[in-house]
Protein backbone atom coordinates (compact mmCIF):
# COMPACT_ATOMS: atom_id res chain seq x y z
CA UNK A 1 0.00 0.00 0.00
CA UNK A 2 1.26 3.37 -0.98
CA UNK A 3 -0.38 5.42 1.76
CA UNK A 4 1.33 4.99 5.14
CA UNK A 5 -0.87 3.79 7.95
CA UNK A 6 -0.61 6.85 10.18
CA UNK A 7 -1.71 9.09 7.31
CA UNK A 8 -4.70 6.86 6.72
CA UNK A 9 -5.52 7.04 10.38
CA UNK A 10 -5.33 10.84 10.41
CA UNK A 11 -7.60 11.07 7.39
CA UNK A 12 -10.08 8.70 8.99
CA UNK A 13 -10.08 10.57 12.30
CA UNK A 14 -10.48 13.95 10.63
CA UNK A 15 -13.44 12.54 8.73
CA UNK A 16 -15.00 11.10 11.91
CA UNK A 17 -14.59 14.28 13.92
CA UNK A 18 -16.03 16.36 11.10
CA UNK A 19 -19.17 14.20 10.93
CA UNK A 20 -19.59 14.17 14.69
CA UNK A 21 -19.09 17.93 14.95
CA UNK A 22 -21.67 18.59 12.24
CA UNK A 23 -24.11 16.27 13.98
CA UNK A 24 -23.61 18.04 17.29
CA UNK A 25 -24.15 21.44 15.71
CA UNK A 26 -27.39 20.16 14.18
CA UNK A 27 -28.56 18.71 17.50
CA UNK A 28 -27.56 21.60 19.72
CA UNK A 29 -27.88 24.77 17.66
CA UNK A 30 -31.67 25.09 18.17
CA UNK A 31 -31.30 24.63 21.91
CA UNK A 32 -28.36 27.01 22.23
CA UNK A 33 -30.26 29.51 20.10
CA UNK A 34 -33.33 29.21 22.33
CA UNK A 35 -31.33 29.80 25.50
CA UNK A 36 -29.51 32.72 23.88
CA UNK A 37 -32.75 34.25 22.63
CA UNK A 38 -34.29 34.01 26.08
CA UNK A 39 -31.65 36.43 27.36
CA UNK A 40 -31.75 38.83 24.45
CA UNK A 41 -33.62 42.09 24.24
CA UNK A 42 -36.68 42.14 21.99
CA UNK A 43 -34.73 44.08 19.36
CA UNK A 44 -31.72 41.77 19.62
CA UNK A 45 -33.89 38.71 19.10
CA UNK A 46 -35.27 39.85 15.80
CA UNK A 47 -32.19 41.51 14.32
CA UNK A 48 -31.09 40.17 10.96
CA UNK A 49 -28.44 38.94 10.37
CA UNK A 50 -28.65 37.07 13.68
CA UNK A 51 -26.43 38.21 16.53
CA UNK A 52 -24.29 35.59 18.21
CA UNK A 53 -22.57 37.96 20.63
CA UNK A 54 -24.52 40.28 22.89
CA UNK A 55 -24.91 41.38 26.49
CA UNK A 56 -27.36 39.04 28.29
CA UNK A 57 -30.54 40.61 29.55
CA UNK A 58 -32.72 38.81 32.09
CA UNK A 59 -35.79 41.03 31.86
CA UNK A 60 -37.99 38.27 30.39
CA UNK A 61 -37.23 35.90 33.25
CA UNK A 62 -37.76 38.68 35.76
CA UNK A 63 -41.15 39.43 34.25
CA UNK A 64 -42.19 35.77 34.12
CA UNK A 65 -41.45 35.23 37.77
CA UNK A 66 -43.01 38.52 38.83
CA UNK A 67 -46.53 38.83 40.22
CA UNK A 68 -47.81 39.87 36.82
CA UNK A 69 -46.12 37.08 34.88
CA UNK A 70 -47.62 34.54 37.31
CA UNK A 71 -45.25 31.82 36.13
CA UNK A 72 -44.87 30.28 39.59
CA UNK A 73 -48.39 28.89 39.53
CA UNK A 74 -47.75 27.08 36.22
CA UNK A 75 -44.46 25.81 37.56
CA UNK A 76 -45.91 24.55 40.83
CA UNK A 77 -48.74 22.79 38.97
CA UNK A 78 -46.18 21.06 36.79
CA UNK A 79 -44.03 20.05 39.74
CA UNK A 80 -46.95 18.77 41.82
CA UNK A 81 -48.58 16.84 38.97
CA UNK A 82 -45.43 15.21 37.67
CA UNK A 83 -43.88 14.40 41.06
CA UNK A 84 -47.07 12.95 42.54
CA UNK A 85 -47.91 10.90 39.46
CA UNK A 86 -44.33 9.61 39.44
CA UNK A 87 -44.56 8.55 43.09
CA UNK A 88 -47.90 6.79 42.56
CA UNK A 89 -46.62 5.02 39.45
CA UNK A 90 -43.37 4.01 41.13
CA UNK A 91 -45.06 2.51 44.19
CA UNK A 92 -47.66 0.57 42.22
CA UNK A 93 -45.24 -0.20 39.40
CA UNK A 94 -42.63 -1.64 41.77
CA UNK A 95 -45.13 -3.88 43.54
CA UNK A 96 -46.72 -4.99 40.28
CA UNK A 97 -43.44 -5.28 38.41
CA UNK A 98 -42.10 -7.59 41.09
CA UNK A 99 -45.26 -9.66 40.90
CA UNK A 100 -44.93 -9.90 37.11
CA UNK A 101 -41.29 -10.93 37.35
CA UNK A 102 -41.87 -13.57 40.02
CA UNK A 103 -45.44 -14.73 40.01
CA UNK A 104 -46.43 -17.53 37.70
CA UNK A 105 -49.60 -16.02 36.39
CA UNK A 106 -51.83 -17.81 34.01
CA UNK A 107 -51.51 -16.22 30.56
CA UNK A 108 -48.56 -14.18 31.73
CA UNK A 109 -47.67 -13.19 28.18
CA UNK A 110 -51.16 -11.90 27.46
CA UNK A 111 -51.12 -10.01 30.75
CA UNK A 112 -47.87 -8.24 30.04
CA UNK A 113 -48.97 -7.46 26.49
CA UNK A 114 -52.13 -5.93 27.81
CA UNK A 115 -50.13 -3.82 30.25
CA UNK A 116 -47.75 -2.51 27.64
CA UNK A 117 -50.56 -1.95 25.16
CA UNK A 118 -52.17 0.53 27.55
CA UNK A 119 -48.94 2.49 27.31
CA UNK A 120 -48.76 2.32 23.53
CA UNK A 121 -52.36 3.26 22.88
CA UNK A 122 -52.49 6.42 20.79
CA UNK A 123 -53.25 9.31 23.11
CA UNK A 124 -55.56 11.03 20.59
CA UNK A 125 -57.73 7.89 20.52
CA UNK A 126 -58.01 7.34 24.26
CA UNK A 127 -58.24 10.99 25.18
CA UNK A 128 -61.87 11.07 24.02
CA UNK A 129 -63.41 8.45 26.32
CA UNK A 130 -61.14 9.58 29.13
CA UNK A 131 -62.39 13.11 28.61
CA UNK A 132 -66.02 12.00 28.86
CA UNK A 133 -65.26 9.81 31.85
CA UNK A 134 -63.40 12.61 33.61
CA UNK A 135 -66.09 15.17 32.92
CA UNK A 136 -68.76 12.84 34.32
CA UNK A 137 -66.67 12.41 37.45
CA UNK A 138 -66.04 16.15 37.66
CA UNK A 139 -62.31 15.65 37.29
CA UNK A 140 -61.71 18.06 34.40
CA UNK A 141 -59.64 20.99 35.54
CA UNK A 142 -58.65 19.36 38.82
CA UNK A 143 -55.31 18.12 40.07
CA UNK A 144 -56.56 14.55 40.75
CA UNK A 145 -57.78 14.48 37.15
CA UNK A 146 -54.36 15.46 35.85
CA UNK A 147 -52.66 12.95 38.15
CA UNK A 148 -54.96 10.22 36.94
CA UNK A 149 -54.29 11.17 33.31
CA UNK A 150 -50.52 11.01 33.83
CA UNK A 151 -50.87 7.68 35.57
CA UNK A 152 -52.32 6.26 32.34
CA UNK A 153 -48.93 6.45 30.68
CA UNK A 154 -46.58 6.30 33.68
CA UNK A 155 -47.99 3.24 35.44
CA UNK A 156 -47.68 0.76 32.53
CA UNK A 157 -44.22 2.11 31.81
CA UNK A 158 -43.14 1.71 35.46
CA UNK A 159 -44.61 -1.82 35.56
CA UNK A 160 -42.61 -2.93 32.53
CA UNK A 161 -39.38 -1.26 33.59
CA UNK A 162 -39.51 -2.68 37.09
CA UNK A 163 -40.42 -6.12 35.77
CA UNK A 164 -37.31 -6.05 33.60
CA UNK A 165 -35.09 -4.92 36.48
CA UNK A 166 -36.52 -7.50 38.89
CA UNK A 167 -36.02 -10.29 36.36
CA UNK A 168 -32.29 -9.57 36.52
CA UNK A 169 -32.17 -10.21 40.28
CA UNK A 170 -31.53 -13.88 41.06
CA UNK A 171 -34.47 -15.50 42.76
CA UNK A 172 -32.40 -17.84 44.95
CA UNK A 173 -31.75 -15.25 47.65
CA UNK A 174 -35.45 -14.57 48.15
CA UNK A 175 -36.18 -18.28 48.36
CA UNK A 176 -33.49 -18.68 50.99
CA UNK A 177 -34.93 -15.77 52.96
CA UNK A 178 -38.39 -17.29 52.83
CA UNK A 179 -37.10 -20.62 54.02
CA UNK A 180 -35.61 -18.71 56.94
CA UNK A 181 -39.06 -17.42 57.76
CA UNK A 182 -39.51 -14.22 55.80
CA UNK A 183 -42.93 -13.65 54.33
CA UNK A 184 -43.16 -13.18 50.58
CA UNK A 185 -43.54 -9.46 51.04
CA UNK A 186 -40.60 -9.26 53.43
CA UNK A 187 -38.47 -11.13 50.91
CA UNK A 188 -39.47 -8.59 48.29
CA UNK A 189 -38.85 -5.61 50.52
CA UNK A 190 -35.57 -6.66 52.12
CA UNK A 191 -33.94 -8.84 49.48
CA UNK A 192 -35.23 -8.04 45.99
CA UNK A 193 -35.76 -4.29 46.26
CA UNK A 194 -32.28 -3.00 47.27
CA UNK A 195 -30.46 -4.29 44.16
CA UNK A 196 -32.97 -2.64 41.80
CA UNK A 197 -32.68 0.78 43.48
CA UNK A 198 -30.75 2.32 40.54
CA UNK A 199 -33.39 1.02 38.14
CA UNK A 200 -36.06 2.50 40.36
CA UNK A 201 -34.38 5.90 40.20
CA UNK A 202 -34.06 5.70 36.41
CA UNK A 203 -37.70 4.69 36.02
CA UNK A 204 -38.71 7.55 38.29
CA UNK A 205 -36.79 10.10 36.27
CA UNK A 206 -38.27 8.85 33.01
CA UNK A 207 -41.81 8.98 34.45
CA UNK A 208 -41.06 12.48 35.68
CA UNK A 209 -39.93 13.42 32.20
CA UNK A 210 -42.99 11.96 30.47
CA UNK A 211 -45.42 13.85 32.67
CA UNK A 212 -43.34 17.03 32.79
CA UNK A 213 -43.18 17.15 28.99
CA UNK A 214 -46.82 16.17 28.42
CA UNK A 215 -48.90 18.61 26.49
CA UNK A 216 -51.87 16.63 25.14
CA UNK A 217 -53.39 15.57 28.43
CA UNK A 218 -52.58 18.82 30.15
CA UNK A 219 -54.18 20.87 27.40
CA UNK A 220 -57.39 18.84 27.41
CA UNK A 221 -57.75 17.96 31.10
CA UNK A 222 -56.31 20.91 32.96
CA UNK A 223 -58.38 23.95 33.87
CA UNK A 224 -57.45 27.48 34.70
CA UNK A 225 -56.01 26.52 38.09
CA UNK A 226 -54.10 23.44 37.03
CA UNK A 227 -52.36 24.53 33.84
CA UNK A 228 -48.84 23.22 33.51
CA UNK A 229 -45.75 24.79 31.98
CA UNK A 230 -46.17 23.24 28.50
CA UNK A 231 -49.70 24.65 28.42
CA UNK A 232 -48.31 28.02 29.49
CA UNK A 233 -45.94 27.84 26.53
CA UNK A 234 -48.79 27.13 24.14
CA UNK A 235 -50.80 30.06 25.54
CA UNK A 236 -48.08 32.39 24.31
CA UNK A 237 -49.23 31.61 20.78
CA UNK A 238 -52.15 33.92 20.09
CA UNK A 239 -54.04 35.29 17.12
CA UNK A 240 -51.94 38.43 17.34
CA UNK A 241 -48.67 36.59 17.14
CA UNK A 242 -46.27 34.97 19.52
CA UNK A 243 -44.52 36.46 22.52
CA UNK A 244 -41.20 35.01 21.40
CA UNK A 245 -39.10 36.31 24.24
CA UNK A 246 -41.33 34.63 26.79
CA UNK A 247 -41.73 31.54 24.62
CA UNK A 248 -37.96 31.05 24.50
CA UNK A 249 -37.63 31.68 28.22
CA UNK A 250 -40.46 29.25 28.97
CA UNK A 251 -38.86 26.66 26.70
CA UNK A 252 -35.58 27.06 28.56
CA UNK A 253 -37.34 26.56 31.89
CA UNK A 254 -39.13 23.45 30.58
CA UNK A 255 -36.07 21.67 29.25
CA UNK A 256 -33.42 22.52 31.87
CA UNK A 257 -34.46 20.15 34.71
CA UNK A 258 -35.21 17.30 32.28
CA UNK A 259 -31.91 17.61 30.43
CA UNK A 260 -30.03 17.50 33.73
CA UNK A 261 -32.07 14.58 35.08
CA UNK A 262 -32.01 12.69 31.78
CA UNK A 263 -28.27 12.94 31.42
CA UNK A 264 -27.89 11.74 35.00
CA UNK A 265 -29.61 8.44 34.19
CA UNK A 266 -28.52 8.05 30.59
CA UNK A 267 -27.04 4.61 31.33
CA UNK A 268 -30.54 3.22 31.88
CA UNK A 269 -32.20 5.31 29.25
CA UNK A 270 -31.94 2.96 26.30
CA UNK A 271 -33.23 0.05 28.31
CA UNK A 272 -36.09 2.17 29.55
CA UNK A 273 -37.01 3.71 26.25
CA UNK A 274 -36.89 0.48 24.31
CA UNK A 275 -39.11 -1.13 26.93
CA UNK A 276 -41.73 1.50 27.25
CA UNK A 277 -42.23 3.28 23.97
CA UNK A 278 -41.03 6.80 24.17
CA UNK A 279 -42.74 10.09 25.16
Q: Which residues between 40 and 69 bind other proteins (CB under 8 A)?
A: 45-50
Min CB(113)–other proteins separation in Å:
5
The answer to whether 278 contacts other proteins (rule: CB under 8 A) is: yes
The answer to whether 179 contacts other proteins (rule: CB under 8 A) is: yes
Q: Among residues 24 and 197, whose Cβ is nearest to other proteins?
A: 24
List 3, 181, 239, 240, residue binding other proteins (CB under 8 A): 181
The answer to whether 134 contacts other proteins (rule: CB under 8 A) is: no
List 61, 71, 148, 221, residue binding other proteins (CB under 8 A): 148
Separation CA 93–CA 85 (nearest Å): 11
Contact 268, 204 (CB under 8 A): no
The answer to whether 8 contacts other proteins (rule: CB under 8 A) is: no
The answer to whether 274 contacts other proteins (rule: CB under 8 A) is: yes
Residues in contact with other proteins, total (CB under 8 A)? 104
CA-CA distances (angstroms) from residue 60 to 30, 231, 245? 19, 18, 7
Contact 39, 217 (CB under 8 A): no
Q: Among residues 170 and 194, whose Cβ is nearest to other proteins?
A: 170
The answer to whether 270 contacts other proteins (rule: CB under 8 A) is: yes
Contact 101, 167 (CB under 8 A): yes
Q: Among residues 40 and 67, whose Cβ is nearest to other proteins?
A: 40
Q: Among residues 67 and 113, whose Cβ is nearest to other proteins?
A: 113
Q: What angle do CA 147, 151, 152 make, to 5 degrees?
A: 125
Min CB(47)–other proteins separation in Å:
8
The answer to whether 72 contacts other proteins (rule: CB under 8 A) is: no
Q: Among residues 156 and 199, whose Cβ is nearest to other proteins?
A: 156
Amino acid sequence: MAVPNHVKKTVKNTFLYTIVTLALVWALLPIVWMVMSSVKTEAGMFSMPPKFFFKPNFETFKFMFSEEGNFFSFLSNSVIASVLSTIISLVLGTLGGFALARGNFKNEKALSFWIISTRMAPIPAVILPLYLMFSNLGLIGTMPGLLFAYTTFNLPFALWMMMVFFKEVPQALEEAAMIDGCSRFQAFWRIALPPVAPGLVATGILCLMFSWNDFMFASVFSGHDTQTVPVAASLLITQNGIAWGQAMATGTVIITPMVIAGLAVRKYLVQGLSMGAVK
